[in-house]
Structure 1
């Protein structure tokens, strides 16, 4: 009989603990979002602000503080953020203390098209609108539109990844036949690049030419430097 009583007590204890655990779990699920926190993955100027992301998080009842955690659809919230034209990727999750956190990666412009329509080309080679919050310091591009801008992407990507080129190149101009002229900072000669083929070779040739001409104090003696003829640099003096 004593054994049976101990068994019954143990069973009652298990039932009570299970009930309390289930009750606590249910209360945790029904508890509303306590706070919203937005974190950008890189320390940089913002093309989309924290306030804009917060607004996206709470719109369409996606993450309103009055919505309980059981009702919240994280996939829906992520899709909403990723559909924004300035966001490259967003990950949204809930913390144990009821906070909704969003980790946001912005799109990165590498060139700015100037003309009848103005927009950026981003680091993935896609058209990106201008931001009302910040203007990127990237090469200006003339003579381009949405139908032909992708052809110059290999050139811009190479410039972006090279400190020397980034320091000296301020813009690109599209010429006939999808050939390009490069605008330079503080150098008084025209730099013709040709088409978008052999990008690394052409820029390496230009850097070798620049280094040699700088050493010989001849940079100011040229009016035209042409990189489009394979592995040679053709120069025209003033």
Structure 2
């Protein structure tokens, strides 16, 4: 009987590879966490700090250092971090060196509501509580805060944040009533009557054209009210 040595060599090689893989996998599973690394992605204004995340993990899992790798459920750890009201998303993974790393994206406030209830409005239009670690420098929203007015304010804030000039200069929005919104600017004494949250691009383009000309003519200080409520025009009231 002829022996197919090539077949036996191939079979032996497969057995060796399978054994090495099983051994490596077994050793990998027996590895323990040797450190914890918390990284914040994007905005570095920390509404939740590293120490807060550490405390959150310890409360749920105890000290994670030296915990065997096979006992970690990374998806569950992610959900625990994401349950914090300051967190938008979290990615948790274990490095080759055994370091448990968490990359966290925080929620981003774009407005601060100062009404009967006080909270931030975040970039997704959702309510976000104030942070004990950092106070966001965002426009302050006052007046009659309702569901409808809050939706409109969110649309106004989104537009403001896309425009460099408006983002730097608008410091407040006052809700007089539904479809009656007033803007307060950083350096100017006048109030801008925006009207509703419709036709924002046209309204703000008209305002910037007025502002550029009045600033050039050095007449900005003469006005106390600038109204954008009427179609395709800017109506000003002098002091």
- The normalised TM-score by structure 2 is 0.88
> What residue in structure 2 maps to residue 142 of structure 1?
142
- Tell me the secondary structure at the aligned position of residue 174 of structure 1: strand
Q: Distance in 1 between matches of 2:118 and 2:197?
A: 22
| 1:21 CA displacement | 4.7
Q: Distance in 1 between matches of 2:196 and 2:223?
A: 22
| 1:17 CA displacement | 6.8
Would you say the 8 A contact 1:33–1:63 is kept in 2? no
Judged with a 3 Å threshold, the aligned counterparts in structure 2 of structure 1 residues 180 and 17 are, in CA distance, closer, same or farther, namely: closer
Q: After superposing the two structures, state which structure 1 stretch, 32-41 or 60-69, moved more.
A: 60-69
| 1:210-221 paired onto structure 2 within 5 Å | 210-221=211-222
What value does the CA root-mean-square deviation take over the aligned residues?
Answer: 2.7
1:198-218 CA-to-partner distances (Å, cap 9, x unmatched) read: 111111111110001111111
Q: Distance in 1 between matches of 2:226 and 2:9?
A: 93
| 1:67 CA displacement | 2.7
| 1:82 CA displacement | 1.5
Q: After superposing the two structures, state which structure 1 stretch, 13-22 or 92-101, moved more.
A: 13-22
| 1:96-115 paired onto structure 2 within 5 Å | 96-115=96-115
- The normalised TM-score by structure 1 is 0.88
- Tell me the secondary structure at the aligned position of residue 187 of structure 1: coil
> What residue in structure 1 maps to residue 231 of structure 2?
230
Q: Distance in 2 between matches of 1:207 and 1:186?
A: 15
Q: Distance in 2 between matches of 1:17 and 1:188?
A: 77
User: Please, which runs of 5 or more residues in structure 2 have no aligned partner?
Assistant: none
Q: Distance in 1 between matches of 2:73 and 2:220?
A: 61
| 1:24-43 paired onto structure 2 within 5 Å | 24-43=24-43
Would you say the 8 A contact 1:63–1:72 is kept in 2? no
- 2:191 is the counterpart of 1:190: yes
Q: Distance in 1 between matches of 2:194 and 2:22?
A: 70
Q: After superposing the two structures, state which structure 1 stretch, 51-60 or 31-40, moved more.
A: 51-60
Q: Distance in 1 between matches of 2:99 and 2:27?
A: 15
Judged with a 3 Å threshold, the aligned counterparts in structure 2 of structure 1 residues 228 and 21 are, in CA distance, closer, same or farther, namely: same
User: Please, which runs of 5 or more residues in structure 1 have no aligned partner?
Assistant: none
Runs of 4+ in 1 over 6 A off after TM superposition: 7-14
| 1:16 CA displacement | 6.8
